[in-house]
Structure 1
């Protein structure tokens, strides 16, 4: 499985958040948060972003929304959250295929992550990024998303 190292500048995400739990094939409540976040799609939005804290955990806090440069950019609605993250080094993997196969990609990426000797940077989010043109194509073989894992 191929990957690349990237330094991501600090960023702010606004979206919908919830505590969640990984339970076999169910990743509650991630699909519902992604459905809510798709309402952000507009002319100035290139991708939907999900952040998960802590990475590689069966119990997590997940936010799905968009990156913003300033709070004035978008009206923050009731029930939305805003989070700021500092600059961080990430290892970036790409998932290609139907969304139901994302758990398989995670199994593969964690194997490679461990084999390469990477260590998760605690306190930093795991990030999932999907280009807007992929929304609605989640069950196609062409569906693509990036998975960013914070490293020390």
Structure 2
């Protein structure tokens, strides 16, 4: 699987958040958070929706789905949204191709690449998913 290292400048995410867990009684809020974030798509200048997972590769996590903002636009921040800031950091970037239902296979390959190449996620840093807004509603396409 191809990937590249990229230094991403500090950024702010505003969106909808929830806790989740994989072990024991499954709590999987991610699809509902993406559905809520879809309401942001029609807003001016929103070209991508961003999913943030803290702590990656963990049985329990905190997930936020929303948009990246460069300044606080109060008309975009609704009462039930959360806001998170992240410092400049180096990221390893992968691209998923194919239907959304195949994302788990892509993640399996990503973690194998991480393990083979000695990558680790710095404590407190997120796993980031970015989806272009023009792909919403096209979860079965190969893009």
TM-score, normalised by the number of residues in structure 2: 0.92
Partner residue, 1:14: 14
Partner residue, 1:83: 84
Which deviates more from structure 2 when the two are superposed, residues 79-88 or residues 38-47?
Answer: 38-47
Please list every run of 5 or more consecutive structure 1 residues that lacks an aligned counterpart in the other structure: 143-152
Q: Secondary structure at the match of 2:35?
A: helix
Partner residue, 2:3: 3
Q: What is the rounded CA distance, in whole Å, between the counterparts of 1:137 and 1:56 in structure 2?
A: 27
Partner residue, 2:70: 69
Q: What is the rounded CA distance, in whole Å, between the counterparts of 1:77 and 1:120 in structure 2?
A: 30
Partner residue, 1:121: 122
TM-score, normalised by the number of residues in structure 1: 0.87
Shift of 1:120: 1.5
The list of structure 1 runs, each at least 4 consecutive aligned residues, that deviate by more than 6 angstroms after superposition, is none
Q: Secondary structure at the match of 1:96?
A: coil
Q: What is the rounded CA distance, in whole Å, between the counterparts of 2:129 and 2:76 in structure 1?
A: 23
**For this pair of structures, how many residues does the alignment match?**
140
Partner residue, 1:139: 140
